[in-house]
Every structure is written in structure tokens, then in C-alpha cells.
Amino acid sequence: MGLAKHLLRVFVDTTVILGVILFIPGFPPYNSLEPFTATPPLPFEGALDPKDYALAKAEKLFEGEIVGPECLEVSPVEPDVFYTTLQGGAIVKISDNGKKMKAVAKFGEKCDGNWDGKNCGRPLGIHFNYKGQLIAADSYLGIYQIDFESGQVTNLVNKDTEVDGKVAKTFNSVAPARNGKIYYTVSSTNYHLDESVGEMLGAPSGRLVVFDPETNENKVLLEDLHFPNGIVLSPDEDYLIFAECLRYRLHKYYVKGPKAGTSEIFLDGIPGSPDNLNLSPDGNIFVALVSVRLPGEFNPLEFMYTQPLLRKLAVRLLHLVKFPFDFAAKYVDLPILRKIASHIMNFETLLPVLPPYSMILEVDWNGKIINSWHSNLSDVRFFSDAKIINGYMYLGSPYNDYLGRIKMPDSIHFVKQPVFSLG
Ligand SMILES: *[C@@H]1O[C@H](CO)[C@@H](O)[C@H](O)[C@H]1NC(C)=O
């Protein structure tokens, strides 16, 4: 009888504590959470056939010298030179067929390590505009413009800019248009990049925004998106495609024409979380899946999506664990406190439990998957961008300590890169 009583006591106490955690008011997540069901992943057949697992043979460049080369952008004037964005805050230029690397910009200041993104800065999406200036989204610090000729760096959208009552917490990707406007994604207006598990389990708070440098104004085009990420304008700039990373889909947003201002689903059921979008040599869209969901396998995150009460409980527990470290760090200048806090709600902390798999898709402008490249190795994954340069497919990643690349078949070598003219 003693044991039964004891168990009952534990059960009642746990229920009361969880109930209190769930129902105390004035604690995040502040928005109400809705259940939803993600479209199941498309089967690995046809264009999604893994074929020879080409990515598994990736060569690792700059191994141990860099962390997290997230986005890849080719120089508009030198087609075999490209740029990438690193943990620690630097934007680097890579030349000599992937042999030479040089830091060319950094928006943050002195910091205590790669985990210290609020101080280091953490550039993610970069894209050259039609004047040859590099437009960059630093996840913590805002949108910047770099003029490499004059050396001038301009903060176009400040991190504290309030747009429609909210501040962007995670700037992600940019698409500069010919008319000077810059379309960009804000992955979260609730959480910083190192707290993205909060955004994952909480209420979607991401946005699609356009910035007009002539008026200095930001306009929200879409909101309540679940971690919007990569973005690319169509060749005629009459619409754009962007990734809704945590909902496994791509959206099409009309910029011009009779449907201007409206959006529709472009591709759903993606077998993973789409990150950056980049152009393939044929002018199609490379979609890098930073994490993969395998058809027919149980996905804990998709299960959580259907359970708002569990999500709320998980988010509150994470906040309860993180709070003392954030609080103490305000009064004691010990980097270790901020370092621990930066790991508690960090997606990077979950990497070891993700499937040992990676994938790059090539999607045409009708939203049809036409090709894919796979890796089934645990140390060759988490790819966030793909770009073919000089006969190699380079593979960016927010987390890897190397820049990956695979050699492409000869037929690809002779396709001219879409380099645009300046002026
Ligand atoms: C990856 O796929 C290749 C080709 O099918 C296979 O030979 C290899 O055993 C696989 N590796 C793992 C770790 O599953």
C-alpha cells in the first residue's frame, strides 16, 4: 500500500506542477498555439531518387578553419570568386578554385566566441544588388549594404527598427530587386537565432518584408510565417519564391500583375526544412534542406505540431530553464552564463538527434522537383545552400566546420553561370 500511495503522491504533485507551469499567465509563449498537420514528405522516387548518394562523397574545404558557411553568393564580376557568411560574424571571399579565403566584412564587435552572436553578429543571407553592392542580412544586427569599391558599409535596416509594432529578432535572407527595393525574410519576431527552438514549438511569428531605400521604409507583406528563410526573385521580378523552413514548403508571392500582393503555395511536402534558395546553372532553383525528414519515419517535431498543449509546456519549460542564466548574466559579467543560456533553446543543440541524411533539390519555376542530390552520412549533412561554381557544387551549412563541395559531371561545366551585368 505504501508504494501505491507514494506513486499517487508523485503523480498528483507532477500534475499540479505541470498544470501551474501551463496555466500561469504572463509567461511565453504569449500567442495562442494552433494545432496543425504538416503535409507528409514526398516519397524518394522519380526526381527524388537518391541515385548514388552523390553528396556523401563531398570534399571538405577549410576543415577546422571555419564554422557555418551558411550562404553562398558568386561575385557579379568574377564568376569563379564567391562569398560566404560564417559563425563568428565574418563574411569571407573565396577564390583560386576554393583554395584561398579572405575576410572582407564583419558587422559585429568584440565577442566571446561563435556562440555570442548578439555581439559577434551572425550574417546569413547575402546577395549582390544590381549596382554590384553586397546586401547582407545579419541575423542579430539587421540588413547591411557593402560597397567593396569604396569600402563603405551602410546599415540599411537597424536591428531595433519597429515595423508594424514589432522588431525583427532573426533577420534571415535578402533578395534585392532591379528597382532598388530589397525583399527580405524575418524568421522570427519573438526569438533570436540562438533561441529558434522557441520559434519552432511556439506560434509562428516570421515575416516577409520589403525595404525601400528611397523612402527608408519597411513594409510587411506577409506575417505569422513559420521561420521564413531563403528568398529568390523570379527572372522577370514579377514574383518571388521563399522558403517556409519549419513548414516544409515554398511560397510564391506576387510582386506585380493582377495577383500582386497575394501569395500561394509553390511546393509542399518537401522532405525536409528548406533553407537558402539559389539559382542552378540552368536558371532553376536549388533548394538546400538543412534538416531532412524521411518518408515513413516518425518525426517528433511533426507530432508536436499536432499537440499545442505539449508545445506550450515544452516552450515554458525551456524558458524556465533559461531564465536564471539570462537573469544572472545581467548582474554578473561571466560569459559562461550567457554561453549556457545561448545553448538552451538553440536548434544547434538538437543536431545530434536529427536523421543522418542531407539533400539538395533542384526545382523549376513551376514548382516541380526536377533533380536531387543526397547524402546518407552523419558527417556530411546540414546543408543550407548549393551553388555550382567552376564545375563544383559548393555546399554551405550553418553548422559544419568545413565548406563542402562535390565535382559535377562534365556536361554541367559548360553551362554558363547567370552573371548579371552591372550599371
Ligand atoms: C550509403 O549509401 C551507399 C550507397 O547505397 C551504401 O553503400 C552505404 O552503406 C550507405 N551508408 C550508410 C551509412 O547508410
Q: Whose CA is nearest to atom 1 of ligand 1?
A: 376
Kindly list the strands in the beta sheet with 228-233, ordered across the sheet, starting from the edge strand earlier in the chain.
228-233, 239-244, 249-254, 263-267
Find out whether the beta carbon of 53 lies less than 6 Å from any atom of ligand 1: yes
Residue scoring higher pLDDT (377 or 415)? 377
pLDDT at 412: 59
Could you report the per-residue pLDDT of 175-209, keeping only the tens digit for each?
999 999 999 999 999 999 999 999 999 999 999 99
Q: Whose CA is nearest to atom 13 of ligand 1?
A: 377
Rounded to an integer, what distance in angstroms lies between the CA atom of residue 269 and that of residue 272? 8
Distances (CA, A) of 238 to 175, 176, 233, 254, 285: 13, 13, 8, 6, 16
What is the CA(45)–ligand 1 centre distance, in A?
17
Q: Which of 10-19, 62-71, 218-227 has the lowest mean pLDDT?
A: 10-19
pTM, to two decimals: 0.94
What is the CA(46)–ligand 1 centre distance, in A?
19
What is the CA(169)–ligand 1 centre distance, in A?
40
* pLDDT classification of 45: cutoffs 50, 70, 90: very high
Could you report the per-residue pLDDT of 94-139, keeping only the tens digit for each?
999 999 999 999 999 999 999 999 999 999 999 999 999 999 999 9
Find out whether the beta carbon of 355 lies less than 6 Å from any atom of ligand 1: no
Mean pLDDT over each residue of the chain, to the nearest integer: 94
pLDDT higher than 70, residue 422? no
pLDDT at 414: 44
- Helix (H, G, I), strand (E, B), or coil: what is residue 382? coil
Q: Where are the alpha helices (DSSP H) in 248-360?
A: 300-305, 308-331, 335-344
Query: For the chain, what percent of residues have pLDDT higher than 70?
Result: 96
- Helix (H, G, I), strand (E, B), or coil: what is residue 232? strand
Rounded to an integer, what distance in angstroms lies between the CA atom of residue 89 and that of residue 92? 10
Mean pLDDT on 348-373 = 95
pLDDT at 15: 85
Residues with Cβ within 8 Å of 356's Cβ and at least 6 positions away in sequence, in order, are 376, 377, 378, 381
Among the listed residues 85, 108, 94, the one whose alpha carbon sits nearest the alpha carbon of residue 173: 85
* pLDDT classification of 293: cutoffs 50, 70, 90: very high
Residues with Cβ within 8 Å of 123's Cβ and at least 6 positions away in sequence, in order, are 70, 71, 85, 86, 89, 90, 91, 105, 107, 136, 137, 138, 139
What is the CA(361)–ligand 1 centre distance, in A?
20
Could you report the per-residue pLDDT of 138-147, keeping only the tens digit for each?
999 999 999 9
Residues with Cβ within 8 Å of 267's Cβ and at least 6 positions away in sequence, in order, are 249, 250, 363, 367, 368, 369
* pLDDT classification of 7: cutoffs 50, 70, 90: confident
Distances (CA, A) of 57 to 27, 381, 405: 47, 11, 9
Distances (CA, A) of 338 to 28, 194, 346: 20, 11, 13
Ligand 1 atom showing the smallest separation from residue 50 Cα:
5
CATH top-level class of 45-407: mainly beta
pLDDT at 411: 65
Ligand 1 atom showing the smallest separation from residue 377 Cα:
13
What is the CA(356)–ligand 1 centre distance, in A?
11
The H-or-E segment that residue 396 falls in is strand 392-396
Could you report the per-residue pLDDT of 236-264, keeping only the tens digit for each?
999 999 999 999 999 999 999 999 999 99
- What cell numbers appear for 105 in the block? 566584412
Residues with Cβ within 8 Å of 308's Cβ and at least 6 positions away in sequence, in order, are 32, 33, 34, 35
Could you report the per-residue pLDDT of 72-82, keeping only the tens digit for each?
999 999 989 99
Rounded to an integer, what distance in angstroms lies between the CA atom of residue 277 and that of residue 249? 12
Residue among 52, 376, 381 whose CB has most ligand 1 atoms within 8 A, to mutate = 376
What is the CA(377)–ligand 1 centre distance, in A?
8
Query: What is the number of other CB atoms lying within 10 angstroms of the CB of residue 399?
Result: 17
What contacts 24+ positions apart, CB below 8 Å, involve 176-179?
A: 176/127, 176/128, 176/129, 176/130, 176/135, 177/233, 177/237, 177/255, 178/130, 178/237, 179/237
pLDDT at 26: 74
Please report where in the chains the cell 554558363 appears, as a residue: 416
Q: Whose CA is nearest to atom 12 of ligand 1?
A: 376
The H-or-E segment that residue 154 falls in is strand 152-158
Burial of 358 (0-12, 13-18, 19+ CB in 10 A): buried
pLDDT higher than 80, residue 1? no
Where do the structural domains in the chain lie, given as residue ranges?
Answer: 45-407
- Strands 182-188 and 206-212, by their bridges, are antiparallel
Query: What is the number of other CB atoms lying within 10 angstroms of the CB of residue 314?
Result: 18
Q: Whose CA is nearest to atom 14 of ligand 1?
A: 376
Ligand 1 atom showing the smallest separation from residue 52 Cα:
4
Among the listed residues 199, 179, 177, the one whose alpha carbon sits nearest the alpha carbon of residue 190: 199
Rg (CA), the chain: 22
DSSP state of 151: T
Find out whether the beta carbon of 376 lies less than 6 Å from any atom of ligand 1: yes
Q: Whose CA is nearest to atom 3 of ligand 1?
A: 53
Rounded to an integer, what distance in angstroms lies between the CA atom of residue 390 and that of residue 417? 9
pLDDT at 3: 84
